[in-house]
Amino acid sequence: GAVVSQHPSWVICKSGTSVKIECRSLDFQATTMFWYRQFPKQSLMLMATSNEGSKATYEQGVEKDKFLINHASLTLSTLTVTSAHPEDSSFYICTAPWGGRLGGELFFGEGSRLTVL
Amino acid sequence: DAKTTQPNSMESNEEEPVHLPCNHSTISGTDYIHWYRQLPSQGPEYVIHGLTSNVNNRMASLAIAEDRKSSTLILHRATLRDAAVYYCILRGSNSGGSNYKLTFGKGTLLTVNP
């Protein structure tokens, strides 16, 4: 079946460095992907919509220069956390709608846990 | 997205049925009712969705009230692996990428006792 895969599943970095997280749709093409962030014991919060071949759309309050999103192909979207700081430590999750079916299910990646020291 | 209301937590015993309620009194006629669950340290997993009629799949059943203002996710025989946060979410059915955005509430934390 359709699967969305994220890499890396976890990463630890020093404050000030940049981290790239990949989200791939396997066996299907995704012109749109979504990135979520989840802090401990909280629900998922939508960060941005990744659009293949065009600029990402960011939710209110999300810094586009800090969270760079690139959707260069129909199967890959990347989220780069630039100049990461401890407050950026979180669980980042991507999702893609499969098949474009109206009202159909979305497939989520396994999530990427970022820890900034 | 229209808002949904779920209990913060529920508890069940293994191999017993579980009924997880969700209220969505402001649902529009074209909104689908989706259920996802999230196991610890994992991304959410699709469970089931429906529009008006009750739905069954290998994971669960979805019972939708006649007025569509509430729904119930039914796990017929809970297992320890079903312990997760269950999210009830409304999604519009119009075409367009923005319609695939999901707004997550706090969900229901299901605890399954052995």
Q: Which of A53, A45, A98 is nearest to A72 (CA)?
A: A53
Mean pLDDT of B79-84: 96
Q: Cα separation of A50 and A77, whole Å?
A: 7
Percent of chain B whose predicted confidence (pLDDT) is above 70: 91
Chain A nearest-CA distance from B23, in A, is 18
* Mean pLDDT in residue range B61-73: 97
- Does the beta-carbon distance from B103 to A104 stay under 8 Å? no
Closest in A34, A44, A103 to B49, CB measured: A103
In this prediction, residue A101 carries a pLDDT of: 54
Assigned token pair, B107: 């969900």
Q: pLDDT for B13-22, tens place per residue?
A: 999 999 999 9
Nearest by CB to A97, which of B94, B100, B106?
A: B100
Residues of A in contact with B46 (CB under 8 A): 105-108
pLDDT at A102: 44
Supply the pLDDT for residue A103.
53
DSSP A60: T
Mark yes or no for CB contact A91/B41 under 8 Å: yes
pLDDT of residue B28: 87
SS3 for chain B is CCCCECCCEEEEECCCCEEEEEECCCCCCCCEEEEEEECCCCCCEEEEEECCCCEECCCCEEEECCCCCEEEEEECCCCHHHCEEEEEEEECCCCCHHHHCCCCCCCEEEEEEC
What is the distance in angstroms between the Cα of A15 and the nearest Cα belonging to chain B? 23
Report the pLDDT value the prediction gives residue B93, as an integer from 0 to 100.
66
Contact (Cβ atoms closer than 8 angstroms) between residue A47 and residue A35: yes
CB atoms within 10 A of CB A95: 28
* pLDDT at residue number B29: 86
CA B57 to chain centre: 13
Q: What is the mean pLDDT of residues B49-60?
A: 93
A43 vs B97, B101, B106: nearest CB: B106
Provide mean pLDDT across the span B32-61. 94
Cα–Cα distance for residue pair A3/A113, rounded to 1 Å:
19
Q: Which of A49, A108, A112, A114 to mutate to test the interface with B (most CBs of B within 10 A)?
A: A108
* B97 contacts chain A (CB < 8 A): yes
- B94 pLDDT higher than 80: no
Tens-level pLDDT at each residue, chain A (117 residues): 558 999 999 999 999 999 999 999 988 888 889 999 999 989 999 999 998 888 999 999 999 999 999 998 999 999 999 999 999 999 999 998 876 554 568 889 999 999 999
- The confidence score (pLDDT) of residue A81 equals 98
Q: Note whether A114 and A13 are within 8 A (CB).
A: yes
Task: Confirm if B101 and A49 have CB atoms less than 8 A apart.
Answer: yes
Q: Calculate the average pLDDT of chain B.
A: 91
Model pLDDT, residue A53: 87
- Angle among Cα B1, A90, A110 to the nearest 5 degrees reads 75
What is the pLDDT at residue B91?
84
What's the whole-number mean pLDDT along residues B40-44? 92
